[in-house]
A and B are shown apart, each in its own frame.
Chain A
Amino acid sequence: MQEQLLYFVQQLLNGLTIGSTYALIAIGYTMVYGIIGMINFAHGEVYMIGTYVAFIVIAGLTYLGLESLPLVFLAALLVSMMVAATYGFTIERVAYRPLRGGPRLLALISAIGMSIFLQNFVRLAQGSRDIAMPSLVTGGWTFGSPDTFEASLSYMQVIIFIVTLVTMGALTLFITKSKWGRACRSCSQDLGMTNLLGINTNNIIALTFVVGAALAAVAGLLLGMYYGVVNPYIGFIAGLKAFTAAVLGGIGSIPGAMLGGILLGTTEAMTSAYFSSEYKDVVAFGLLILVLLFRPSGLLGKPEVEKI
């Protein structure tokens, strides 16, 4: 009995780890959708670029002889967030702003093109092979006896939880308390009206892209350190999963993206645990279809009122 419980806890922890990083990436999708109603398909690639930058910074600092792990981690976090934010800003400027006001389909095609461009750009610059990095954070806690079943929680998983929680907390504070956050919320309610009230909505939209990209870079650093591997193709699957998480939770809603990410991660882990890992995507996307059937705007999404 205790063995079963430990097994369940272990799989729950596995699911929460992967789910919290889905959530971090999903926020980028949901914020952009909430404000300008388009899906930024290049977001997964920004996550991938964040991972590459983090790897380069970590490798560079270690090469220069910097041993202190917290310093390396902080430096990698800051640099990858900054670089990713620059990418987010530039993508918006180059690929989306010139098309604003046009049919939505144009922006969507532009987003897909941007995604293909970034993927191939990184492939040419960095090569298409897996780049691996040794684990920086090793070890962890174990529960239970080795004879029956031993659940483990690695320090890296704990770091992922903590960083994700802190980041989400900071984002929530930013959105609810700050002046810019208020402008963001106002934009998502009525872009035209916000503009009339004297807020430069172009800046707010750019800000949304910058914040979303920086969060994707946080996820990139965390998952890069956790798995230790990066290649130019990781952005596609990660982006797809995060997009699913955003839709599941209700696209446009930030708490929804968090909930959706966690839900998707745990569903995948539990399916692998009690059924078969072959079916984890089937069950995860089946869940999405079910949710959309009964709540078309997602779990926490507001039903969209048709504007005439």
Chain B
Amino acid sequence: MNFKKTLLGLGISTMMLGATMAQAEIKVALAGPVTGPVAQYGDMQFIGAKMAIEQINKNGGVNGEKLVGVVYDDACDPKQATAVANKIVNDGIQMVVGHLCSSSTEPASDIYEDEGILMITAASTSPSITEKGYQLVFRTIGLDSLQGPFAANHIINSIKPQRVAVIHDKQQYGEGLATSVKGELDKAGVNIVMFEGVTSGDKDFSALIGKLKKENVDFVYYGGYHPELGLILRQSKEKGFDAQFMGPEGVGNPDITAIAGEASEGLLVTLPNSFDQDPKNAALVDAFKAKNEDPSGAFVFPAYSAVQIMADSIEAVGEVDTYKMAEHMRANNFATPTGELAFDAKGDLKEFSFVVYNWHKDGSKTAVK
């Protein structure tokens, strides 16, 4: 009996503690894959956002209130993403940094827009996300419709291949990019001999590679993520197929080296600028390194910027009013670690630049001049 009383007392005091804390904190949902095959991209986004929250709190928070990040796992699965979005609504959170995969962000953004929740994705690049005329949907990363032509431009002007294959994983992100690249190459009269989809999650690409070999393909553009491309590279090397491969930021992380090994040497990857190489961000990079985190991931700094823009907007508006914040975001420029950012009417960045990198077998990369 005594024990029960103690427990009850403990419970009540915890509740009171929770109540007093709630007055002085602003919650931000961080939504993305914690689990699943592309969880490493989720990590990039989470460490960036958490670092921003930590530093903002260290500097006195937002209008004297502390930011708190709450992580939600959508496993990069559209069904789970809508469940997560509904949970965020039920938890009464007003702002979301996420989601990561375009196919998750798109259905989730419908829910956020309806419920008056402000969403900034730091990683989803599919153009259709911002094409619905939503007021509360923003992104701090470039679009496939920019990245595709950028990659195509590099292929046409620097590589000048004879026989090109464009492969994708039949998902929104990969197929969107592949289609955009194919369109640009067609316009420039590049000879595309193959345009095919593979099944995401597949392990055997020997039949596809046999076909690429037979068609004498000398250049392959792959739209998709690293687990499949890693295996394609590895199996290509084993089968003696040595074309030049190129992929988007979805393949650019050290895991592709772990999967493909030496076969990842010389892979071309289009990535956002390496913000961690910018001398202006040296202090921030040191802060990441002090926590033993890797700041070189493509979505680390865009996620940092997303949180910072939210915090700046709350301070400017004076309260967490998502519609006023969105108005403020469209009207102003923000000085962030990813540069001076400004949003257009759709919620996309007015400017975002990509760089072509040459991937190396030790997992490092060098910019292609």
A interface residues (Cβ-Cβ under 8 A, vs B): 3, 7, 10-11, 14-15, 17-18, 123, 128-130, 132, 134-135, 138, 140, 142, 149-150, 152, 154, 156, 223, 227-229, 231, 233-234, 237, 268-273, 276-278, 280-281
Q: A187 to nearest B CB, angstroms?
A: 34
Residues on B with beta carbons closer than 8 Å to the beta carbon of A138: 238
The answer to whether A11 touches B207, judged by C-beta atoms less than 8 angstroms apart, is: yes
Q: A112 to nearest B CB, angstroms?
A: 18
Given A149-B213, A269-B206: A233 and B196 within 8 A (CB)? no
The answer to whether A277 touches B197, judged by C-beta atoms less than 8 angstroms apart, is: yes
Of the candidates A129, A152, A281, the one whose C-beta lies within 8 Å of that of B239 is: A152
Main secondary structure of the interface of B (DSSP, over half): helix
Q: Specify the chain A residue showing the minimal Cβ separation from B36.
A: A128
The answer to whether B227 touches A123, judged by C-beta atoms less than 8 angstroms apart, is: no
4 residue pairs, one from A and one from B, having the closest CB atoms: A272-B207, A14-B206, A278-B197, A132-B258
Quick check: is B294 within 8 A (CB to CB) of the other chain? Answer: no
Q: A263 to nearest B CB, angstroms?
A: 15
Q: A100 to nearest B CB, angstroms?
A: 34
Residues on B with beta carbons closer than 8 Å to the beta carbon of A227: 203-204, 231, 234-235
Residues on B with beta carbons closer than 8 Å to the beta carbon of A152: 238-240
A-B contact pairs, 22 of them (CB 8 A): A7-B210, A7-B214, A14-B206, A14-B207, A14-B210, A128-B35, A129-B40, A129-B255, A132-B230, A134-B261, A135-B234, A138-B238, A140-B238, A142-B240, A152-B240, A154-B238, A223-B203, A228-B261, A229-B227, A229-B231, A277-B205, A281-B199
B interface residues (Cβ-Cβ under 8 A, vs A): 35-37, 39-40, 170, 196-199, 201-208, 210-211, 213-214, 227, 230-231, 234-235, 238-240, 255, 258-259, 261
Given A129-B40, A129-B255, A134-B261: A18 and B196 within 8 A (CB)? no
Residues on B with beta carbons closer than 8 Å to the beta carbon of A154: 238-239
Residues on A with beta carbons closer than 8 Å to the beta carbon of B234: 135, 227-228
The answer to whether B37 touches A17, judged by C-beta atoms less than 8 angstroms apart, is: no
Residues on B with beta carbons closer than 8 Å to the beta carbon of A233: 37, 201
Residues on B with beta carbons closer than 8 Å to the beta carbon of A10: 210
Given A128-B35, A132-B259, A278-B170: A273 and B207 within 8 A (CB)? yes
The answer to whether B227 touches A130, judged by C-beta atoms less than 8 angstroms apart, is: yes
Q: B212 to nearest A CB, angstroms?
A: 11
Q: Specify the chain A residue showing the minimal Cβ separation from B211.
A: A273
Q: B77 to nearest A CB, angstroms?
A: 11
The answer to whether B210 touches A277, judged by C-beta atoms less than 8 angstroms apart, is: no
Bound CA span A138–B255, Å: 21
Q: B297 to nearest A CB, angstroms?
A: 14
Residues on B with beta carbons closer than 8 Å to the beta carbon of A123: 35
Q: A10 to nearest B CB, angstroms?
A: 5
Q: Specify the chain B residue showing the minimal Cβ separation from A281.
A: B199
Residues on B with beta carbons closer than 8 Å to the beta carbon of A223: 203
Residues on B with beta carbons closer than 8 Å to the beta carbon of A135: 234, 238, 261
Q: Specify the chain B residue showing the minimal Cβ separation from A138.
A: B238
Q: A145 to nearest B CB, angstroms?
A: 12
Given A7-B214, A150-B240: A130 and B199 within 8 A (CB)? no
Given A135-B238, A142-B240, A277-B198: A229 and B203 within 8 A (CB)? yes
Of the candidates B207, B213, B227, B231, the one whose C-beta lies within 8 Å of that of A277 is: B207
Q: A228 to nearest B CB, angstroms?
A: 6
Q: A238 to nearest B CB, angstroms?
A: 8
The answer to whether B37 touches A130, judged by C-beta atoms less than 8 angstroms apart, is: yes
Bound CA span A202–B345, Å: 70
The answer to whether B207 touches A130, judged by C-beta atoms less than 8 angstroms apart, is: no
Bound CA span A140–B239, Å: 9
For the A-B complex with A130-B227, A132-B259, A227-B204 known, give 6 more contacts whose Cβ atoms are closer than 8 Å: A128-B39, A130-B230, A229-B203, A231-B227, A237-B201, A277-B199
Residues on B with beta carbons closer than 8 Å to the beta carbon of A149: 213-214
Of the candidates A7, A15, A234, A277, the one whose C-beta lies within 8 Å of that of B208 is: A277
Bound CA span A132–B235, Å: 13
The answer to whether B213 touches A150, judged by C-beta atoms less than 8 angstroms apart, is: yes
The answer to whether B207 touches A128, judged by C-beta atoms less than 8 angstroms apart, is: no
Bound CA span A48–B362, Å: 28
Residues on A with beta carbons closer than 8 Å to the beta carbon of B37: 128-130, 231, 233
Residues on A with beta carbons closer than 8 Å to the beta carbon of B39: 128-129
Bound CA span A85–B206, Å: 31
Q: Specify the chain A residue showing the minimal Cβ separation from B199.
A: A281
Q: A24 to nearest B CB, angstroms?
A: 15
Of the candidates A231, A273, A278, A281, the one whose C-beta lies within 8 Å of that of B210 is: A273
The answer to whether A18 touches B204, judged by C-beta atoms less than 8 angstroms apart, is: yes
Residues on B with beta carbons closer than 8 Å to the beta carbon of A229: 203, 227, 230-231, 259
Q: A164 to nearest B CB, angstroms?
A: 15
Q: Specify the chain A residue showing the minimal Cβ separation from B240.
A: A152
Q: Specify the chain B residue showing the minimal Cβ separation from A231.
A: B37
Residues on B with beta carbons closer than 8 Å to the beta carbon of A234: 203
Residues on B with beta carbons closer than 8 Å to the beta carbon of A129: 37, 39-40, 255
Q: Specify the chain A residue showing the minimal Cβ separation from B33.
A: A128
Q: B34 to nearest A CB, angstroms?
A: 8
Bound CA span A152–B259, Å: 22
The answer to whether A269 touches B207, judged by C-beta atoms less than 8 angstroms apart, is: yes
The answer to whether A11 touches B197, judged by C-beta atoms less than 8 angstroms apart, is: no
Bound CA span A271–B258, Å: 30
Bound CA span A156–B202, Å: 19
Q: A225 to nearest B CB, angstroms?
A: 12
